[in-house]
Amino acid sequence: MAVQYSVAWSSEVMGVGVVAGGPYNCAPPNGALFITVCMKGKPPAERSWKSAQDFARDGVIDPVAGIARQRVYLFSGTKDSVVLPSVMAAVRDFYAKAKVAPVALAFVEAMPAGHAFVSADIGDPCDENGGIFVVKCPLGSALYDQPGAILNHIYALRFKAATMLTAAPIAFDQARYGGAPALMAPRGYAYVPAACRAAGAHCAVHVVFHGCKQSADAIGSDAIYAKLGYNRWADSNGIVMLYPQVNASAMNPMGCWDWWGYSGLNFQLRHGPQIDAVHQMVKRLLQSS
């Protein structure tokens, strides 16, 4: 979903972190084969790039030139059995076709991680492909801090992660942003550092799209929006964190963000129900910070 959003609103997005995802608009052209191709196969990056160009020409996403200035972090664990490394290679190729500069395109692909976020704070063994889909992976004598790596690649962080937070995550009503068509959970979460609440503050907003089966309600905890590790870096570097939520439903039994069209075939466009809802949330936070 991070790919879909950052392409649709490329004029407003400065960077993106993609952890075991798929290329832009991969699912619709492949029909019933979308899992086979977009999770287990070798999706053609050229087709995703052409989709983006065509949608931009039609004015339903931002001009594709905006993608080239983004900073892009990609991650594929060698033990990921859900989204294979070949799929993430296609994501890399998509951004290369979009002319993202090599120095701005980081691809971490040698870590023996399963299908999961990688946290230095919480998680299962590195090669796990289940549970809450958060793992810990050694890197030298320490643990790999993926939230820090993503934020640093995008924002060039100036300060070390906070040891004590200046705020707590807050819950908010998502219905006011998307309503029924977005098929999202009742509540989303945000972390707003104290420095970003001060008068005259100017803080970036970073969106974390959880994975399938990974909403707060699905895992029954605050692991993603409070404990993953993003908030420590955000607090010391003046970044507002947004954690929108999608729960399982009849149309979406795994509780995934819409990357294949269950909320409508315009899911990958600016006016797609979920992309539009999250964009409204981002605008609200930018107005407040």
Can you name the residues that pair with 239 across neighbouring β-strands?
204
Domain boundaries, position 30:
2-288
Residue 154 confidence (pLDDT): 98
Residue 93 confidence (pLDDT): 98
CA dist 7 to 14, 70, 121, 214, 229, Å?
11, 10, 30, 23, 26
- pLDDT at residue 144 greater than cutoff 90: yes
Residue 32 confidence (pLDDT): 80
Residue 287 confidence (pLDDT): 87
CA dist 253 to 81, 192, 212, 213, 257, Å?
20, 31, 9, 9, 11
Q: Which residue has the higher pLDDT, 200 or 220?
A: 220
Averaged pLDDT for residues 126-145:
97
Residue 192 confidence (pLDDT): 97
Q: How many domains does the chain contain in total?
A: 1
Write the pLDDT tens digit of every residue in 50-80.
999 999 999 999 999 999 999 999 999 999 9
Averaged pLDDT for residues 19-32:
91
The span from the CA of 147 to the CA of 150, in Å, is: 5
Write the pLDDT tens digit of every residue in 201-244.
999 999 999 999 999 999 999 999 999 999 999 999 999 999 99
- pLDDT at residue 289 greater than cutoff 70: no
Q: Which residue has the higher pLDDT, 163 or 200?
A: 163
pLDDT averaged over every residue in the chain: 96
Q: Encoding tokens for residue 3?
A: 């790919």
- pLDDT at residue 21 greater than cutoff 80: yes
